[in-house]
Amino acid sequence: MSEARNFQVDLHGLVDLLSHHLYSSPRVYLRELLQNAEDAITARQLEDPDAPAEISIRTFAGGLEVRDSGIGLTVDQVSELLATIGRSSKRDEIGFAREEFLGQFGIGMLSAFMVADEIAVTTRAANGSTTLWVGTADGRYTVTEAPERDEVGTTVSLTARQGAEQWVDPQSVRDLALFFGSMLPVTITVDDEPISDGVAPWDPAGTSGERKARLVGYAQDELGFTPFDVIDLKVPAAGLDGVAFVLPFPANPAERATHRVYLKRMLLSESLEGLLPDWAFFVRCLIDTSELRPTASREALYDSPHLEETKEALAEQLRGWLVRLGATDPRRLSDFLRIHQLGVKALALHDDAMMELVERFIPFETNQGRMTLHEVRERAAEIRYVASVDEFRQIAGVAAAQGMLLVDAGYTYDADLLERLASVHPDVIVARFDPTELATAFEALDPATELDLRPFVAAAEKALAPVGCEVAVRAFDPPTLPVLYLVDRSAAFAAELRATREKVDGLWAGVLGALDTHDESKPQLVLNHRSPLVRRLSSLADDGVVGLAVEGLYGHALMLGHHPIRPADSALVNRSFLGLLEQAVPSATKDTP
């Protein structure tokens, strides 16, 4: 025969669980006491809208008391609610949390046991007697009558246990009350000093200018910067109101943006992550919500479909601000984009309106100067881009001299944006430029000149045979550039793959072998026949000197193009340097006396 029994609760273990696993710090004890006081005031004002809304905190040697003008508890409520862990007065008759209240879990009072071994609650409800409830951390409590209070409300008193005195120090209490409760719509005092006027920075109190000054002052005092702009945020379905401060300096997109969030004017978190999409790293939010659910610790928001809908609504409002700025104040938008290009570029990857802003307002590097994609489209029927900054630096000047317009897409998001441009505008042709295409744009030499240069080319290729590089002589501008190193991307990948395969074990060698494209194309060293240096070099009859000079030009081309230097390349360049020094410094013809 089975018998129903109640669980036995180890209060010591439960308090340890709260302090080490639920709450991030013992400092939340004051937040929980403020929350209970605020909820009691709210409950009283639901019955009497003219009831006072005051919370008074007084410190004394080693402890404090929190006094509120709330609804108070009767003796029966004290016995029922304060003695039952997890039970809250802030629930309706079928057990659901009431929306008007901050507390919904019925465990807030236990947080005070993180700093004290004993809690005393003196409370009086309207038309009721005054009751004293005293609870201890070992799970015992007493309920007795107390001397009558003059007014309805509750006072919670505690003395810090040994080692927790810093949490009830007057300055600490003042700081914690200001930190957690400065936005609450009640009057809060600590040792008779007001810390809150009940006005939040985002409230519409005062003129628009006064409100703007209040918001800017908040950002300066609390966040440490003067915002570039302030964006109003409002999501009625989430009971959300607040602002987003636009950072006046570039933000690191790799760092998670954090935001200050309040729940019914009580601080929930000063560093909440994930409230906005990753692309919105250029803002810091200050918001209050009354409908989103907090976690049990009330230090984060509960992940739910409602929260996801709110995030999407906030993202849409930030996006709308950018679009409006582009339509109404292009100069200010340009100022913003100079600071926060990355955020807008990230958004443009999946948003057509943002893509239009990027196309018209964000300048890209090209080999013909900085210009927007809109300007590039007007100049070239086909947009060609280079996906590496080093590669662009190597060929930009040469391509410009041949009349080619190239976009440097070696920066974050640029290559993806150019590819997306083709999907937004089907009439636009976008293609990645291969450096080897330059050789086809160079002017070929006449047959007689090529015939005369054959011995020179043969000597040059012999010198570069150890590094597997072909040699070609072409005529191209500018004449000041004597040499250019061109390598096909597919061939470079295949060569690097084969080099890596030789260094790994059999298993990985087999895997890499399956990826080999078997492209046997060789890199090409193109010598510029319009260069006076190359023409002088080609006229030399000494193959040894020609070889040393070509090796030196090869090393110069590698460094100019920021190409990786292999051991074989390094050995060749060193040999060229020393050989040319030997030629430049003749040996002595006779011994000195």
> Does 593 score more than 70 pLDDT?
no
HSE on the CB side for 465, CA within 13 Å? 7
Are residues 68 and 187 located together in one domain of the fold?
Answer: yes
Are residues 18 and 94 located together in one domain of the fold?
Answer: yes
Handedness of CA 485, 486, 492, 495 (dihedral sign): negative
Residue 286 CB-density burial (10 A; 0-12 exposed, 13-18 middle, 19+ buried): buried
More confident of the two residues 361 and 197? 361
Give the pLDDT confidence score for residue 96 in this predicted structure.
Answer: 33
Mean pLDDT lowest for which of 13-22, 29-38, 491-500? 491-500
Mean pLDDT of 350-374: 89
> Does 4 score more than 60 pLDDT?
no
φ, ψ at 579 (rounded to 5°): -65, -40
Query: Mind listing the pLDDT tens digit for each residue in 407-447?
Result: 999 998 999 999 999 888 888 999 998 877 887 778 888 98
Mean pLDDT of 318-341: 90
| CATH at residue 565 | 1.20.120.790
Residue 578 CB-density burial (10 A; 0-12 exposed, 13-18 middle, 19+ buried): exposed
Tell me if 307 is assigned to some domain: yes
Query: Mind listing the pLDDT tens digit for each residue in 135-182?
Result: 888 778 888 888 888 889 999 999 999 999 999 999 999 999 999 998
Give the pLDDT confidence score for residue 443 in this predicted structure.
Answer: 84
Mean pLDDT of 372-401: 88
> Does 304 score more than 80 pLDDT?
yes
> Looking up tokens 């040393």, which residue turns up?
548
DSSP tag of 236: G
φ, ψ at 153 (rounded to 5°): 145, -170
> Does 252 score more than 90 pLDDT?
no
Give the pLDDT confidence score for residue 444 in this predicted structure.
Answer: 84
C-alpha pair distances (Å), 65 with each of 138, 150, 159, 191, 195: 21, 17, 9, 10, 16
Are residues 42 and 160 located together in one domain of the fold?
Answer: yes
Are residues 301 and 346 located together in one domain of the fold?
Answer: no
Give the pLDDT confidence score for residue 558 in this predicted structure.
Answer: 87
Instruction: Give me the chain's average pLDDT, please.
Output: 84
Give the pLDDT confidence score for residue 197 in this predicted structure.
Answer: 72
**For residues 366 and 405, what is the distance between their CA atoms, to the nearest angstrom?**
7
Query: Mind listing the pLDDT tens digit for each residue in 447-472?
Result: 899 899 999 999 999 999 988 888 98
Mean pLDDT of 490-506: 60
> Does 581 score more than 50 pLDDT?
yes
Tell me if 494 is assigned to some domain: no
Tell me if 543 is assigned to some domain: yes
Are residues 288 and 390 located together in one domain of the fold?
Answer: no
35-49, 146-160, 235-249, range with greatest mean pLDDT: 235-249
Tell me if 591 is assigned to some domain: no
Tell me if 530 is assigned to some domain: yes
Are residues 309 and 337 located together in one domain of the fold?
Answer: no
Are residues 138 and 212 located together in one domain of the fold?
Answer: no
Q: Where is the domain boundary, 327, 359, 375?
A: 327
Give the pLDDT confidence score for residue 321 in this predicted structure.
Answer: 93
Q: Where is the domain boundary, 196, 226, 256?
A: 196
Residue 230's nearest CA partner among 216, 209, 249, 220 is: 216
**For residues 365 and 370, what is the distance between their CA atoms, to the nearest angstrom?**
5
Are residues 35 and 162 located together in one domain of the fold?
Answer: yes
Are residues 158 and 269 located together in one domain of the fold?
Answer: no
pLDDT band at 517 (very low <50, low <70, confident <90, very high): low
Tell me if 515 is assigned to some domain: no
Give the pLDDT confidence score for residue 101 in this predicted structure.
Answer: 42
Tell me if 5 is assigned to some domain: no
Please name the amino acid found at residue 28. V
C-alpha pair distances (Å), 33 with each of 102, 103, 573: 11, 10, 76
Sheet with strand 406-408: strands edge to edge = 406-408, 382-386, 429-432
Are residues 38 and 109 located together in one domain of the fold?
Answer: yes
Sequential DSSP letters for 87-143? --SSB-TTSPBPTT-S--SS-GGGGGGGTEEEEEEEEE-TTS-EEEEEEETTS-EEE
% pLDDT > 90, the chain? 36
More confident of the two residues 244 and 251? 244
Give the pLDDT confidence score for residue 418 in this predicted structure.
Answer: 93
> Does 63 score more than 60 pLDDT?
yes
Q: What Rg, from alpha-carbon coordinates, does the chain have?
A: 38
| CATH at residue 317 | 3.30.230.80
Q: Which domain holds residue 91?
A: 11-196
107-116, 118-127, 346-355, 438-447, range with greatest mean pLDDT: 118-127
Tell me if 290 is assigned to some domain: yes
| CATH at residue 408 | 3.40.50.11260
Give the pLDDT confidence score for residue 95 in this predicted structure.
Answer: 34
Tally the domains of the chain: 4
Q: Where is the domain boundary, 175, 196, 217?
A: 196
Give the pLDDT confidence score for residue 221 in this predicted structure.
Answer: 92
Mean pLDDT lowest for which of 181-190, 201-210, 312-321? 201-210
**For residues 43 and 59, what is the distance between their CA atoms, to the nearest angstrom?**
26
More confident of the two residues 199 and 313? 313
Are residues 22 and 166 located together in one domain of the fold?
Answer: yes
**For residues 484 and 489, what is the distance between their CA atoms, to the nearest angstrom?**
16
Are residues 28 and 113 located together in one domain of the fold?
Answer: yes
